[in-house]
Structures are given as structure tokens and as C-alpha cells.
Structure 1
Amino acid sequence: MAEDGAAQSASTQAWPLPSFYFKVSVTDVGDISCSEVSGLETEYDMIEYRAGDSPIFTKQKMPGMRKASDVTLKKGVFKDDKAMWDWINGIKLNTIKRATVTISLLDESGKPVKTWELTNAWPKKITVEGFKSDGNTAAIETLILAHEGVNVK
């Protein structure tokens, strides 16, 4: 019996999670039905240093300040769905209601397996993709979020 449990555990860990089943939530805005999320990145600046009396003639490379890339959300345009527009229209001179944005990768039962949290996020730009009279696609709006870091849970 223990062998079956170990074999099952090993087989479920052998498969990576699919990227198509995910959920996006924003505090005070709610769940957002997105078709695409991109830009979950963390990067560090590099500091180069060499002391003048160092016998080694190369620079040391050290991690510096952490940088957070913008995150892009793409979602369909729905009738009476103004949550993102209300959020971005709340921007006044140097003031905006910042939020925690949670992006969860879900398993087959809809439970979060891996979660990324954006700290102090706010909408930087919103764009509605163009319309075509002979097109056959859904109307999409793109929201770009600025934030101060990604935490993986």
C-alpha cells in the first residue's frame, strides 16, 4: 500500500502544471476573468566593485536593488464590467488606491497550487484593442500594472 502512495506521488510530480487554468484576484476589485497574464518577473541590479588595493584585477559582482517588471493582464470586454476602468479612473495627482493582485495557477479541481502576489499594484495603462468589421475575435482590453514586488507562495 505504501508503495502505491509513493508511486502515485512521484507520478503527479513528474508533470508540470498546465498554464491555461488560472485565476486573478484584486483586493477591493474582486476576481478578474483574464485570458492572459504576462510579466511575472523579478530582477536585481548588479553592482560592480573593485578596491584599489585588490591583488585581483577583476571586479566583484554583487546583487543590488530588486526590480519589479510591469505585469500585463488581457481580458475580454464584457457588458457592464467597469471594475478596471473604475480602478484606473481613481488615479488623482500622485494618489492611487494600491492593491494586492493575486495570480493563482489552479489544479484540475480549481484549487490554487502556486500563487504569485503583486505588492502595492496599481493600474498604469489600459488599452482596448482595435475593432475590425471583418474580424472574428473577442474584444480585448489590456491592463498594465505597476507594482513593488512579486512574492511566490
Structure 2
Amino acid sequence: MAQTGQLVDPYRNFNFLVQIDGITQAGFSECSGLSSTTEVVEYREGGDNTTVHKLPGKTAYGDITLKWGITDNLDLWNWRQQIIDGQVVRKHGTLVLFDFDASTERARWNFIRAWPTKCELPSFSAKGNEVAIETLTLAHEGLTRA
């Protein structure tokens, strides 16, 4: 008779770390957009008029969006400024997911040849008291799970 397996809860999405080559950012409040999509190429074969074959085409990777509270650290701002100045500096990065204890690594995704395509500053209001959140969008050329 087969034994019942141990129930494993899914990991939570709040204990994470984003590392980018040579950039030390205190912490990100959000990281989104890590995705890959493979194009479907439809192919009709002669003599087979009832079926369309579906073949894999090129794979594209979604842009990564990072959000963090503004501090004195200018590393990401300076990287974006290099792109504006015509110096395309590509960097590799990693998203690490931790367990509840915030020290046990549970999953890791690596992205390659990233560069910042967009920087968005927060809206400012004298009536508000929220943290000022800066947003950076990264284009990249690959995503793997390590």
C-alpha cells in the first residue's frame, strides 16, 4: 500500500532578494514581470487538410519591474543614466525566494543581459505620508531557474 506524502505548503512571496551585478540596493518592495512566452507557429502539411500543426517559435522574456523606497543609494539611477548617455551596460541578476525564516533559500531565478528601459519616480503630495516608491523596468534576454 502506498504511503501518503507529506503536505508541503507553497512558498510565500514576501521573503525575496534581488541581486544585480555590482549593485547593492537595500531592498525591493516588489519584483514583477519575470516571464517567458514561446510563440506558436502554425504549419499546415500538404495532404492533411483537417489539421494544423503547432510548432514552437521564438521565445520572448517579459520585462522585470522593480520597486523600492527611495534612499540615498544612486546605483540604479546611475545605471539608468548610463543608458540615457548611450552607454549600454548589461548586467546579470538573480531573484532569490526565502522560506519563513528569511535565511533558507527555496528558489532562485537568474536573468541575463539586463538593462534599464524605464525609470518612474513617485507622485509627490504634501497631503500624503506614504513611502516614496521608485520604479525601474529592466529588459533582459533570458530567464533560468537554478
TM-score, normalised by the number of residues in structure 2: 0.89
Residue type at the aligned position of 1:28? G
Cα distance change on mapping 1:128 and 1:149 into 2, 3 Å: same
Could you list the runs of 4 or more consecutive aligned residues of structure 1 that deviate by over 3 angstroms after TM superposition?
A: none
The CA deviation string for residues 87-107 of structure 1, in whole angstroms up to 9 with x for no partner, is 1111243x4111111110012
Secondary structure, in 3 states, of the residue corresponding to 1:23? strand
CA contact (8 A) 1:23 1:31 kept: no
Larger helix proportion of the pair:
1
Q: How does 1:57-96 map to 2 (within 5 A)?
A: 57-78=50-71, 80-91=72-83, 92-93=85-86, 95-96=87-88
Query: Is structure 2 residue 3 aligned with structure 1 residue 10?
Result: no
Structure 1 residue 76: Cα displacement: 0.4
Q: Give 3-state SS (helix, strand or coil) of 2:77's partner.
A: helix
Residue 136 of structure 2 aligns to a residue whose secondary structure is: strand
Which amino acid in structure 2 is aligned with residue 10 of structure 1? Q
Q: In structure 1, how many angstroms separate the alpha carbons of the residues matched to 2:130 and 2:77?
A: 22
Letter in 1 for 2:134: E
Identity %: 33
Q: Give the deviation of 1:57 after TM superposition.
A: 1.9
* Structure 1 unaligned blocks of 5 or more: 1-5
3-state SS of paired residue (1:86): helix
Q: Would you say how many aligned residue pairs link Structure 1 and Structure 2? A: 142
Q: Of the candidates 104, 115, 118, which is equivalent to residue 108 of structure 2? A: 115
Tell me the amino acid that sits aligned with residue 113 of structure 1.
R
SS in 2 for 1:34: coil
